Amino acid sequence: MGTLSYPNAADACHTRDPAPVPPPLLVATRGDAASDGAIELAVAMGTASGARVRILAVVQPSPTLAPELTALVALDPTELDPKCVARAAVEAQLKRLAIPQRKVEIEIGTGDPPTIISRAARDAQAAMILLGADDHDLLERLFGGDTAVRVARAADVPVLVVPRGCSHVPESAVVAIDFSEASVRAGQVALRLFPDLAAVHLVHVAPVPQPALELLASMHARYAEAAERAFEAVREAMVPPAYTVVTRQIVRGNAAREVLRAARERGVDLIVAGSHGHSAFERVLVGSVATALLRGARVPVLVLPAEAATHD
């Protein structure tokens, strides 16, 4: 019987490849309480995985005052610099959350927030973007003005939108499954980003047929049978760890509403959805299931943008 041996233990140690460095976590913030949960969750995940946490605040470019006017109002130039103001707000937020600055990297960007945030995540090869849910008024939210939705549309890495008060690492999840590659991939990514999930509940919202009443029962039975086979294929593709309990459910109705209902009834602390990347016109005026989930959830929502489906 053959054996494997090394010249000596020291040489064996030197031949090992160093442990890979996890990709960073990018948190977008305005320095206000809306993103407290996102920062706390990112720091908790970074502590557990060894990933760096990068905090990004984006300011809109603004005109600078003339030196004469600055002297007239007796203000320090840094008090008028939006970048300095943004950095001070982030530092104050970290102090309020009792997070040492050494645990994070602070960056300040200038420009359109969704564009800058998605570009920063791409340049940093971030594992995902975390940000707080906006509290904008209804009209702005209906027309896609909130930053969370716009970032999810612009990004090509997973986006986690964290409502206020949701700062702990998720332990259970509802995954919206329509049996498309995008939804299966979203489940796979969720298990990779949150490897300690103890329970995953797959929810499929079936279409509502409109045939003659006498055909409904047989159609429902055939659909349920086909869906069960599809659920098995999804579970195999997701490759959940042995300790993760995977359950499934078929419901009918409005997709986002039923997924949100399932999340509430199951008491999960994460909702997962894939995006199909519809046209800009459809996404802004019609909306999507992922967008509706972002606007209606009371727990963090992980969205896998269409562009991220080809990334590992």
Whole-angstrom CA distances from 84 to 72, 75, 81 are 20, 13, 5
pLDDT at 133: 82
pLDDT value of position 275: 75
Q: What pLDDT, in 10s, does the model give residues 155-210?
A: 999 999 999 889 899 999 999 998 888 889 999 999 999 999 999 999 999 877 65
Q: How confident is the model at residue 289 (pLDDT cuts 50, 70, 90)?
A: confident
Q: DSSP letter at 278?
A: -
Place of tokens 């797959």: 202
Residues pairing with 27 in the sheet:
55, 130
SS3 153: helix
Q: Write down the pLDDT at residue 305.
A: 82
| Residue where the block lists tokens 């969750």 | 41
Q: What is the pLDDT of residues 73-100, one digit of tens each?
A: 555 555 568 899 999 999 999 999 999 9
The residue-averaged pLDDT of 287-303 equals 84
- Return the pLDDT at 100: 95
Convert the pLDDT of each residue in 132-168 to its tens digit.
Answer: 986 554 444 444 447 888 888 889 999 999 998 898 9
Domains, the chain, ordered by start: 21-165 (3.40.50.620), 170-312 (3.40.50.620)
Taking 70 as the threshold, does the pLDDT of residue 309 lie above it? no
Category of 55 on φ-ψ map: left (φ > 0), alpha (ψ -120 to 50) or beta: beta
- In angstroms, the CA 183 to CA 194 distance is 16
Dihedral angle computed from the Cα positions of residues 278, 203, 303 and 182, in that order, rounded to the nearest 10 degrees: -50
- 293 pLDDT higher than 60: yes
Residue 164 is classified by DSSP as T
- Residue 18 has what pLDDT? 64
**pLDDT digit string (tens) for 22-34?**
999 999 999 999 9
Could you read off the pLDDT of 45-67 as tens digits, one per residue? 999 999 999 999 999 876 655 56
Question: 257-286 pLDDT, tens per residue?
Answer: 999 999 999 999 999 998 765 444 334 333
Question: Which ranges of the chain does DSSP label H, i.e. alpha helix?
Answer: 9-15, 36-49, 67-72, 77-80, 82-96, 113-124, 138-142, 147-154, 181-193, 213-238, 255-266, 280-281, 289-296
Q: What is the pLDDT of residue 231?
A: 92
Find tokens 């499929």 and name the residue. 204
State the pLDDT at residue 295. Answer: 83
Going by pLDDT thresholds of 50, 70 and 90, the confidence category of residue 72 is low
Q: Each residue of 211-237: pLDDT tens digit?
A: 555 556 667 778 888 888 999 999 999
